[in-house]
């Protein structure tokens, strides 16, 4: 992964932590996916990828979350910025997996 992609992930992460969680996604499940848990799982993986070496277990967990968020995105109503929120999570997960695939820094 090049520095531009790493910078993009850092900017998306900063935006994510500044943006409130969409209230309509609390206690919500779509296609068997708990939306709060999905958010937290991706956020944890992204945060780890930015701060420490990325291992195979974390990469696999993020790949699973990426598949889940891609599955539910078309089913999210755009209330309270929910689509934007989960699209950002999707992009961050994909970039973090790329960082992990690039190996140690």
Domain tally for the chain? 1
Please choose, from the candidates 16, 31, 23, 6, the residue with its C-alpha nearest in 3D space to the C-alpha of residue 96.
Answer: 6
DSSP state of 103: -
The answer for residues whose C-beta is within 8 angstroms of residue 58's C-beta and 6 or more apart is 45, 48, 49, 100
Range of the domain at 53: 3-102
Per-residue pLDDT of the chain (105 residues; tens, 9 = 90+): 478 888 999 999 999 999 999 999 999 999 999 999 999 999 999 998 888 877 889 899 999 999 999 999 999 987 788 999 999 999 999 999 987 765 544
User: What distance in Å separates the CA atoms of residue 10 and residue 56, rounded to the nearest whole number?
Assistant: 21
Q: What residue has token string 């932590």?
A: 17
């Amino acid at each position: 992964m090049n520095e531009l992609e790493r910078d993009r992930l850092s900017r998306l992460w900063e935006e994510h932590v500044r943006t409130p969680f969409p209230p309509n996604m609390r206690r919500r499940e779509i296609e068997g996916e708990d939306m709060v848990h999905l958010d937290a799982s991706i956020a944890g993986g992204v945060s780890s990828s930015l701060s420490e070496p990325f291992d195979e277990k974390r990469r696999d967990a993020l790949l699973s979350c990426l598949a889940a968020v891609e599955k539910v995105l078309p089913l999210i109503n755009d209330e309270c910025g929910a689509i934007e929120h989960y699209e950002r999570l999707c992009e961050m997960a994909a970039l973090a997996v790329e960082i992990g695939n690039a190996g140690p820094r």
